[in-house]
Amino acid sequence: MMTRPIPVPHAVRDTDHVKVAISGTGFIARGACAALSAFPQYDVTRVLTRRPVAASAGAFPEEKLTNSIDEFLEDADIVVECSGDAAHAAEVMIAAGEAGRNIVTINSEAQITVGSAMVRRGYSITEAHGDQPGCLAELHEECLDMGFTPLAYINLKGFLNLTPSLEDMQYWGPKQGLSLRQVTSFTDGSKLQVEQAFVANGLGAGIAQQGLIGGSVAELSDLGAHVEAARKLGKPISDYTLNPGGPPGVLVLADCAVADAATDYMPFTRLQTKEGGAYVLLRPHHLVHLELTKTLRRVVEGRPPLLTNSADPTITVAAIAKRPLPAGTVFDEALGGFDLRGEAIEIAGNADAAPITLMDGARLRHAVEPGQVLRMSDVEMVENRALDLYRESLTPQG
């Protein structure tokens, strides 16, 4: 696996008083702010919002809210980007990088869209612990420390419906404390496709097929198909499985010669897949808000990033039509909407695939059929900084 240059974090001067600025005011931002309030060494100095300040004043102290990126960055050591919007995040992350701030994301959408451009510029950027890509990166480190060789990085889900109805999503969104857009992107699988594309890029893995293998298993030891796919590909794969009623976490399928030699040692044998082809290393939770402090401590200590999209990504997430769409269709909400969903796809041979994360506001030039991969030539996309940075990341470095 090629060794890529790793951005060096900028020094945090006062490690006992770390100034943190949060970009976003949604579910993740609120939880992060609440979690950091329990740690006196972390001071949330500013919260960046695109809404009128008064609209978010109930969830955050009004004096900390701002609409100005310059004001947001002025008194910050670390910027936590969790707006969930790739185009907006690009503006925040570029400004933060140019200002020499450390960037922590809880935003896989932004990472697979502009994260590679940030790495190429040498900015200090990392994904956070706690979200599933960060959990897989942390488990990856633990596997290597114990002598395991990863074969597959698996995101665990309980349920998917590629074409959920508006009525169902309007019911489940409030029930789960999520926006309509969030609950839809979770349910139709777009979010996990984004996450696993990010994991593949960051950990040097591949994908076994467009849209991933997936499938449903009753037991987590029944993942032989993923092991076989990784061995066939000749490198680790990034994928997922459905395990209804199982833990909301992640797992790594791995080899280990030392464990193989201990044929009667129960702690090892109980980790094996049913076919005995690999070991199942499970992390049965992902505590998004509560684990952010681990990332902040890592940045303060000047350690390498936990996870980035790498300088040379190999996987993107293409927009796929959910239904017949006529020419002239404008996508007000692409990711998490009812016209499109996302699928992980190799960039090689598909550099012209339209990225689901940048389809907001795009207009179809001609009709498309259900299941069709949209190409950039199929749509008039909104020209912005994020699209420029995405195009830049598709060009291999010389």
Using alpha carbons only, give the angle 170, 250, 145 rounded to the nearest 5 degrees: 155
Long-range contacts at 369-377 (CB < 8 A, ≥ 24 apart): 369/321, 369/324, 370/321, 370/322, 370/323, 370/324, 371/320, 371/321, 372/320, 372/321, 373/318, 373/319, 373/320, 373/343, 373/345, 374/318, 374/319, 374/320, 374/321, 374/340, 376/352, 377/352
- Three-state DSSP state, 383: coil
> How do beta strands 78-81 and 102-105 pair?
parallel
- To 10 degrees, the CA torsion angle through 299, 304, 306, 307? 120
**Residue 265, helix vs strand vs coil:** coil
Question: Model confidence over 107-148: pLDDT tens digits?
Answer: 999 999 999 999 999 999 999 999 999 999 999 999 999 999
Phi and psi torsions of 340, nearest 5°: -130, 155
pLDDT of residue 59: 84
Q: How far from 389 is each of 214, 263, 394, 395, CA to CA, in Å?
A: 30, 51, 9, 10
- pLDDT value of residue 363: 97
| Low-confidence spans in the chain with pLDDT less than 70 | 1-9, 398
Q: Which amino acid is at 248?
A: P
- pTM for the whole thing? 0.95
| Residue 297, number of CB atoms within 10 A of its CB | 16
Contact 143, 252 (CB under 8 A): yes
pLDDT at 8: 52
| Residue 367, token pair as written in the block | 């009709």
pLDDT (0 to 100) of residue 1: 40
Spatial separation of the C-alpha atoms in residues 16 and 14, rounded to whole Å:
5
- CB burial of residue 179 (10 Å; 0-12, 13-18, 19+): middle
Structure-token match 């100034």, residue found: 19
Length of the chain: 398
So what's the pLDDT on residue 9? 61
Question: What pLDDT sits at residue 389?
Answer: 96
